[in-house]
Amino acid sequence: MLTVEQVIASHKANIETLFGLTNKAFEGVEKIVELNLTASKAALSEVAGHTQSILSVKDAQELLALQSSLLQPLAEKTAAYSRHLYDIASGASAELTKTVEGQAADAQKKFAGLVDSAAKNAPAGSEAAVAILKSSVAAANNALESVQKAVKQATDVAEANFNAVAATATNATKAAAKKR
C-alpha cells in the first residue's frame, strides 16, 4: 500500500514536472515573440527603403522592374521565417514530448511495482485475477507504446512534407524571378 510519504513525494514530483513544462512552454513563446519582433523590425525597415525606391521611379517600366526584384527576396524571407517558426515549435514540442514520455515511463514502472506488490500480498486463490490484472497492464503499456510510435512517425512525415513544400515554394519563386 502507498504511504503518506510516497503520495507527498509523488505530488511534489508532479508539481516540479508541471513547473518545468510551464517554463519550457514560456521559453518557446519567448522565442516566437523574439522572432516576430525581429521580423517586424526588418519588415518596417524594408518598407521604408522600398517606399523611397518607389518614390524615385521615373517610369512604369522601372516600376515593374523594381516590383519584380522585390518578389524573390520576399518569398525567401517568408520561407526562412516559416522555417524558423517551425523549428521553434518543433523544438519546444520535442522537449515537452521527451518530458512527458519520461514521466509516463516512470509512472508505468511505479504502477507495475504496485501491481507486483499487490500480487505478492494477494490472498490465496486470487491468482487468476492477478494474472488478468498483469495482462491488462501489459496490454495498456503496449498500446501506449504503439500510440507513441505512431505519433513519432506522423511527426516525421509532417516535417518531411513541410521541408518539401518550403523547398518547392522557394525554387518556384526563384524560377519565376529568373524568367522576368
For residues 75 and 170, the answer to whether their CB atoms sit within 8 Å is yes
92 versus 166: the higher-pLDDT residue is: 92
pTM: 0.60
pLDDT score for 176: 60
pLDDT value at 155 more than 70: yes
pLDDT score for 38: 94
Question: What value does the mean pLDDT of the chain take?
Answer: 81
* Mean pLDDT to the nearest integer, 99-110: 79
pLDDT score for 33: 94
- % residues pLDDT > 70 (the chain): 92
Buried b / exposed e along 119-158 (16+ C-beta atoms within 10 A): eeeeeeeeeeeeeeeeeebeeeeeeeeeeeeeeeeeeeee
pLDDT score for 127: 77
Per-residue pLDDT band at 40 (split at 50, 70, 90): very high
- % residues pLDDT > 90 (the chain): 10
